[in-house]
Structure 1
Amino acid sequence: MEVVLYYCLRQVLKKRKIALNPEDYPNLETSKWNAVVEECYQSYCTGAACKEAKDCKCPKLYNTLIMLHDFSTVVEAKRAMKGGDVGRLMIV
């Protein structure tokens, strides 16, 4: 599932017209990188993004976002159990 997040980040970078050449990776300032991550989160990881994808004709994006949400919940629960954080596990 990490690949899906990587794909989402690449889509945001492509939209911002940042070249993604494997031989010469771009150097981004921290503030620009944080803006890219925030845009990726807003576009693909929020409830609003999921609702917007649900209204589209093609269900692929909606299904992918649901799968991504389920995966992130499993990862969060695993990390909480591994760290022995019962409170965080109860929230998940």
Structure 2
Amino acid sequence: MLDLRPNCECCDRDLSPESPDAMICTFECTFCADCVTGVLGGACPNCGGDFTRRPVRPAALLAKYPASTKRVLKAEGCGPAKAA
């Protein structure tokens, strides 16, 4: 089950569980759509993978399966993924 992390790892913008602007990679790294397109160039700075829109968990299931409250933020800042 997805964590539904509460913020963008790049700019720390709040991303509610129903946010249409939350983007994730296959490792669930979470960024806002603005950072994905404007800062990261569509590639995850952690794994180099691409992004997709994070699914929205139905409100009725959030009580039973709540979103994560653990904020993740790249301490060194973020920028485009580096070639391996």
Give the TM-score, by structure 2 length: 0.24
Name the structure with the higher strand share: 2
- Name whichever structure is richer in helix by fraction: 1
Bigger radius of gyration, 1 or 2? 1
TM-score, normalization by structure 1: 0.23
